[in-house]
Amino acid sequence: MTQLKFLDKPPRFLFFTGKGGVGKTSLACATAITLADAGQRVLLVSTDPASNVGQVFGITIGNQVTAITAVPRLAALEIDPQAAAQAYRDRIVGPVRGVLPDTVVKGIEEQLSGACTTEIAAFDEFTALLTDSVLTADYDHIIFDTAPTGHTIRLLQLPGAWSDFLAEGKGNASCLGPLAGLEKQRAQYKAAVDALADPKRSRLILVARAQLTTLREVARTHEELAAIGLTKQFLLINGLLPQAETTRDPLAAAIFRREQNALATLPEVLNPLPCDYIELKPFNLVGLAALRKLLADTLPGEGNKEFTHTAIPFPSLSSLTDEMAKDGCGLIMLMGKGGVGKTTLAAAIAVNLAHRGLPVHLTTSDPAAHLSETLNGAMDNPAVDRIDPHVETERYRQHVLETKGAHLDAKGRALLEEDLLSPCTEEIAVFKAFSRIIREAGKKFVVMDTAPTGHTLLLLDATGAYHREVIKQMDSSIVHYSTPMMQLQNPRQTKILLVTLAETTPVLEATNLQADLRRAGIEPWAWIINNSIAATTVRSPLLYQRASNELAEIEAVSTIHAQRYAVVPLLKEEPVGVHELLKLSKSSAVEC
């Protein structure tokens, strides 16, 4: 097998990062097996809230080091963010319980209930593996499936002058609760960030697909991490369709052209990075046999044997749009992990509704918004804009400085300005803009392409905190009132569409997202399975096998997970522009 660059003289720590759906978990597992098979002692760690490492290996792992008995010298650990967050809260609240008044303790617990706390708590456990030699002494390599985000690292790099400021009761710290416990850990966090930035100890592998939007997002990730000292990065392009599959299959040929065009226009900042390419495989990446084949150069071909898979008719996107159009107005939110096509589907739904003469506002809260590229032109209906996180954050920052900051001395104002540099400030600012848009949905359709799942849950968590605060302060004599969370929970006002692919990991993550939404009292209205090969006609042996693999996932969505669903076929050309988006929104599997 040709030596892959990212596996050339690997350091002790390997980190796989990238947007959802690009294959981080499979690649991390395959790398762990490769190193263990070569005689190295390996610990595989998942810091992904929706970890499916155990599912990939076919065993239960959980929040404890578990030997993978089928692979000598390999063990795995799944950090449970919720358990980590609870332990983190207990460590902070425990010492003051019974000492401070119950109302104060309850206030601290409420501050520590957010998604920011969960992210920091998971990082708390993560740093121990980077810095505690006793915990990791038995291993030559520690491989992380999902590296900490630039968001988390920036939080932990904030200067440490919090204690006196918070003790004096000044400021309006957006991350006050989560950050309250950081001071004791600061030395450990600094050691962890230093380890991440040291190429002799750590290697960061950016995983991507050969898609224009995905590569642009990887470029942003590269620059964000490089700016905080993590400069030694490798690029790994996963899931490339082999050219041999294109000879008798027009769809395969179109996919191959699209991928090669994306690679030919690779963002300049990525060009200097060492790069490896992994071919698309025909099988599901579950089980040791499949994982051992993932990093292989090529697979045995089918010779001249020809397969023809005929498109299967499934419920179309137009059937969902027909039902939504009957309401005349409302909020439509598309949610799901990154890389599943939410932006394109949001644009297709909005264009379809506008084509019927209905007033539509199409917007996004995704920092990597691609709506303008997808629509490829300006128009009055739908009205199109985005919640720009930078603009909204600056607006919120100035408001806080002009109100809370006006009453502080120079030292207090300086520390408040430092607090407002926290990434958590962005979530609050975006929430305020989100709330403004929600109010429009009583008069028109508001179609929202949301950020990838983690960001969206942060946004909804902020919505829930606002809801609880309004209810707490509400005069009991007031009968009629409404909060953003109440609107999200009302299926007549809001329709949540979960977008996924017909693959194991995306369906698992959509299922977990649905469970999270249900805990918040929000019931998803429908699922959309995007880019389905089973809903197309193919002749390529590889695509034929992948189409067959999709059927079990589609059946699980239709019979177990979704109240209603639609399947959108994989198209030869990317749906860009109003005309193509209309075709997409009206198409059925048979027509494609």
Q: Which residues are annotated as catalytic?
A: 21, 23-26, 48, 505
- Closest alpha carbon to 463 in 437, 443, 440: 437
Whole-Å CA distances, 420 to 176, 181, 183, 401: 11, 18, 18, 9
Q: Looking up tokens 């490829």, which residue turns up?
A: 376
Beta bridge partners of 361: 383, 446
**C-alpha to C-alpha distance for 457 and 515, rounded to whole angstroms:** 12
- Closest alpha carbon to 347 in 357, 336, 339, 355: 355
Q: Looking up tokens 């900051």, which residue turns up?
A: 405
Return all residues near 161 (Cβ < 8 A) that are at least 6 apart: 415, 418
Query: Residue 537: phi, psi to the nearest 5?
Result: -105, 125
**C-alpha to C-alpha distance for 479 and 489, rounded to whole angstroms:** 18
Residue 58 CB-density burial (10 A; 0-12 exposed, 13-18 middle, 19+ buried): exposed
Return all residues near 327 (Cβ < 8 A) that are at least 6 apart: 492
Is residue 214 within 8 Å of residue 339, measured between CB atoms?
yes
Secondary structure element (H or E) that encloses residue 278, with its range: strand 275-279
Within 10 angstroms of residue 440's Cβ, the number of other Cβ atoms is: 16
**C-alpha to C-alpha distance for 507 and 21, rounded to whole angstroms:** 10
Q: Looking up tokens 């669903």, which residue turns up?
A: 565
